[in-house]
Amino acid sequence: MIRSVVRGIGSSLPKRVVSNRELETLVETSDDWIVQRTGIRQRYIAGEGETSASLGAEAAKAALAMAGLSPDDIDMIICATSTPDNTFPSTAVNIQNRLGMSHGFAFDMQAVCSGFVYALTTADLYIRGGQARRILVIGAETFSRLLDWKDRTTCVLFGDGAGALVLEAEEGDGTAQDRGILASCLRSDGAHKDKLYVDGGVSTTGTIGHLRMEGREVFKHAVGMITDVVEQCFADTGMSADDLDWLVPHQANLRIIDGAAKKLSIPMDKVVVTVDQHGNTSAASIPLALSAAVADGRIKKGDIVMVDAMGGGFTWGAVLLRW
């Protein structure tokens, strides 16, 4: 059986770090409030010339370097983003061009904060279907450019950045001992589309719009949705929380991460948390967190890793893999 195995991972962050204290000068908020309610201490904000595509391309280069591969070796690029450089063409083809690639194919995936989980699942299916052997899966966002910087209920929550990984086909036995993606589960329910959305768009206002959110409503649904898809991945593989080495959740809010971990009986020392450093970087948050945990030696070859996300739509999903 063909499995999709991670060969390399990389990340890229804007140069400018913005602390909670700095936001106190913009809106009526406090470091205490932000830390207590969200766990966020700082975020990175893109400056001039830093875009989803530029950050995504840097992350992709780092992932390729770790894999010991060049763009020539890649068959396909998927970029998960809700903050594309242009309405079209896709950020993925922009990144393809920045990598000097003119073969293969590239496209974007839009599932907001669940984008990376959707992209990973899609890439796995292309590999297992024999359509591609090596795929760059990227999450790249510049949410700072969608924010209403006068709205304290949203502007303190988000940040910019990108992460990328290289997936490669490898022959496995078809058992849970294989390396690579072992299970995935995607869900969405558009009945919730007005709880977290952007109040503009090409086909409605003709403007970019600003992010709007009913924070309490998102919070209310998040833990249940996340735990459902994580448990589905466990059921599909016959594994349980005890088998897990690392839970790498979408980094929206420490209280959501904590609540989901408790409900799943996963101790916090097995949970990778970067929301304090990065804020919520939407589709980039999982590959940024994976990259940090690989770089500091926590995630090692052979480890069982669960990634999960929930976001606008609502969309939600999880992927279980052996690193």
Q: Rule CB under 6 A: which residues touch ligand ACO?
A: 29, 33, 37-38, 113, 152-153, 156-157, 196, 213, 215-216, 218-219, 222, 252-253, 280, 310-311
The SS3 assignment for 233 reads helix
**Could you give the CA distance from residue 275 to residue 43 in angstroms, rounded to a whole number?**
8
**Residue number, 57 or 146, with CB nearest to ligand ACO:** 146
Residue whose beta carbon is closest to ligand ACO:
215
**Could you give the CA distance from residue 147 to residue 253 in angstroms, rounded to a whole number?**
17
Which residue among 20, 79, 94, 113 is the active-site one? 113
**Residue number, 71 or 312, with CB nearest to ligand ACO:** 312
From the centroid of its chain, how far is CA 156?
19
Structural contact between residues 125 and 2, judged by C-beta atoms closer than 8 angstroms: no
**Residue number, 64 or 146, with CB nearest to ligand ACO:** 146
Q: How many CB atoms lie within 10 A of CB 6?
A: 25
Strands (E), 72-123: 76-80, 105-109
CB of 270 to ligand ACO, least distance (A): 21
**Residue number, 227 or 280, with CB nearest to ligand ACO:** 280
**Could you give the CA distance from residue 21 to residue 222 in angstroms, rounded to a whole number?**
28
CB of 96 to ligand ACO, least distance (A): 27
- 113 in active site: yes
CB of 98 to ligand ACO, least distance (A): 27
**Residue number, 37 or 145, with CB nearest to ligand ACO:** 37
CB of 193 to ligand ACO, least distance (A): 13
Which residue among 20, 94, 253, 280 is the active-site one? 280
Q: Angle at which helices 215-237 and 254-263 pack, to 10 degrees? A: 40
**Contacts of residue 224, Cβ cutoff 8 Å, sequence gap at least 6:** none
Structural contact between residues 165 and 6, judged by C-beta atoms closer than 8 angstroms: yes
- 250 in active site: yes
**Could you give the CA distance from residue 252 to residue 256 in angstroms, rounded to a whole number?**
7
- 210 in active site: no
**Could you give the CA distance from residue 274 to residue 253 in angstroms, rounded to a whole number?**
10
CB of 172 to ligand ACO, least distance (A): 32
Which residue among 192, 250, 253, 278 is the active-site one? 250
Catalytic residues: 113, 250, 280
